[in-house]
Copies of this chain bind each other. A is one copy, B any other.
Amino acid sequence: MRVLALLDGTLADPDSPQIRVDDLGLMRGDGVFETILVVGGKPRELTPHLDRLDRSAAMLDMPPPPRAEFERAVELVLGNWSGGAEFALKLVYTRGVDGGDGTPTGFALGMEIGTKVLQQRAEGLSAVTLDRGVDADLAARAPWLLLGAKSLSYAVNMAALREAERRGAAEVVFTTSDGSVLEGPTSTVVVVRGKTLVTPPSELGILPGTTQYALFRAAERAGWTVLVEPIKADELYDAEGVFLASSVRKITRVTVLDGKQLPDSSALLTELQDLYESEY
Inter-chain contact A18/B20, CB cutoff 8 Å: yes
Q: A21, A26, A134, A153 — which one has the most chain B CB atoms within 10 A of its CB? A: A21
Interface string of A146-179 (1 = CB under 8 A from B): 1101011111111110110000000000000100
Which residues of chain B are near A141, meaning CB under 8 Å? 131, 133
- Which residues on B sit within 8 Å (CB–CB) of A160? 144
Report the count of interface residues on A (CB-CB < 8 A). Answer: 61
- 8 Å CB contact of A26 from B92, B147, B156: B92
Whether B151 contacts A28 by the Cβ 8 Å rule is: no
- Chain B contacts of A111 at CB under 8 A? 22, 98
Whole-angstrom CA separation of A159 from B111 in the bound complex: 30
Pairwise interchain contact B30-A61, C-beta atoms closer than 8 A:
no
Cβ-defined contact, B26 with A16, below 8 A: no
Instruction: Contact check, B177 vs A135: say whether CB atoms are below 8 A apart.
Output: yes
> Are B144 and A162 in touch, CB under 8 angstroms?
yes
Q: Contact between B144 and A156 (Cβ–Cβ < 8 Å)?
A: yes
Of B18, B25, B94, which is within 8 A of A17 by CB? Answer: B18
In angstroms, Cα B149 to Cα A162, docked, is 16
Q: How far is the CA of A4 from the CA of B17 in the complex (A)?
A: 15
- Contact surface of A with B, Cβ cutoff 8 Å: 2, 4, 14-31, 33, 59-61, 90, 92, 94, 98-99, 107, 109, 111, 114, 130-135, 138, 141-147, 149, 151-160, 162-163, 177
